[in-house]
Structure 1
Amino acid sequence: MPPETLTPERILEATEEVLRRYGPAKATVVDVARALGVSHGTVYRHFRTKAALRDAVTQRWLAEAHASLADIAASDGPAAERLPRWLGELFAAKRRKADLDPELFATFQTLARDNSGAVSRHVRETVAQLAGIVADGVRSGEFAPCDPAVTARAVWDATCRFHDPAYGAEWVSPGIDGEFDAVCELVLRGLRKS
């Protein structure tokens, strides 16, 4: 039986397992290659550097965690309903990742700090989705006139406690859902036309 074809996806899956087992400080490309039964040179043919591999793993994790956000942003319906639904899904996705695999979540906190390229792309993409919702709200008259890009960034910053992994320990605290709802209501109140 021929060996399974080595794909970037298989390498990323193996890298996640290695990171889960050894943590980001000790995991190496050699460990990933060993887990796949190939030489480290073979891994480097797909990912030129250890940093590129870690960046790709971080990007993959963020994309998996936030797959439904683009659908919410592009969906029909009032912006004043989509915005809190989008923010709620972002918060829920982060909590799911933290709850289901705390070791890997902790690893990704480290990778996110180290791989600013993947995180920067993620923030740009998600803030752009928010800007689209805000622009829809301004066009429909739900929201007061504003610069959607600036306002979206302000909403992102105002809600960081509910999506930035640095606050992950707080996501299980009693009352966090009520606090999230209060922030969403405050944001919506600030956006609505008087």
Structure 2
Amino acid sequence: MADQALTKEEILDTTVQVLRRFGPEKTTVVDVARALNVSHGTIYRHFPSKASLREAVAKRWLHGIIKPLEVVQKQEGSPTELLRLWVETLIQIKHSKVQEDPELFTMYTTLVEESVEVVSSHIAELIGQITPIIEKGIAEKEFKSSNAANTASGVFMATARFHHPLHAKEWASPTINQEFDIVWNLILSGIVK
């Protein structure tokens, strides 16, 4: 591959393949460069360090979670229905990722754990998507909260067991849906008028 024609997306695509092959612990920038048939200096022109390359992979994966949620956030419906749909969509996205390719899911969660700033930004973006739904509920007098941002944070944190990767092994429980309903009803009892 010619150095000048190489894009960041091509590097990231190849990095994912190399990470999958060697694992996050053993993958080096040289491995990625070798897979692309370029010098490691070429990779460093796009990503200044191994950490920044791994962070970019994590960020792209997390962005893939955000996009479908943006669609939900913009749908019509009551704030209660939209809030539940948003949370269920987040849960479904995460559960699908672990079911479709558990090894890849584990690899990505390892990369994400290393990227504290990326994760913090991702969580802020997720809560930022919930906030307008809560604001709409307050404006329509469906929700009793006076602080939409705090309520959005609370909803996100209260449902973490169902979407945070650290709980992925629990998602296979035959009672996980009933457990979510219990938590959801508790959330609603706290925010619905």
**TM-score interval (norm. to shorter):** over 0.9
Counterparts of residues 58-69 of structure 1 (less than 5 Å): 58-69=58-69
The residue aligned with 1:70 is 70
Q: CA deviation at 1:74?
A: 2.1
Q: Is this contact kept in 1: 2:127–2:149, CA < 8 A? A: yes
Amino acid at match of 2:142: E
The residue aligned with 2:7 is 7
Counterparts of residues 116-135 of structure 1 (less than 5 Å): 116-135=116-135
SS in 2 for 1:68: helix
The residue aligned with 1:169 is 169
Q: CA deviation at 1:185?
A: 2.2
The residue aligned with 1:102 is 102
Q: Equivalents in 1 of 2:103, 2:113: separation in Å?
A: 16
The residue aligned with 1:146 is 146
Amino acid at match of 2:88: G
Amino acid at match of 2:140: S
Structure 2 unpaired stretches of 5+: none
Q: Equivalents in 2 of 1:112, 1:10: separation in Å?
A: 20
Identity value in percent:
46
Amino acid at match of 2:58: T
Q: Does 1:43 align with 2:43?
A: yes
Q: Equivalents in 2 of 1:166, 1:73: separation in Å?
A: 25
Q: Equivalents in 1 of 2:43, 2:2: separation in Å?
A: 19
Alpha-carbon distance change, 119 to 2 in structure 1, aligned in 2, over 3 angstroms: closer
Q: CA deviation at 1:4?
A: 9.3
Q: CA deviation at 1:59?
A: 0.8
**Aligned pairs, number:** 193
CA displacement 1:26-45 (0-9 Å, x = unmatched): 11111111111111111111
Amino acid at match of 1:176: I
Q: Normalization by structure 2: what TM-score?
A: 0.94
Question: Please, what is the CA RMSD of the aligned residues?
Answer: 1.7
CA displacement 1:10-53 (0-9 Å, x = unmatched): 11111111111111111111111111111111111111111111
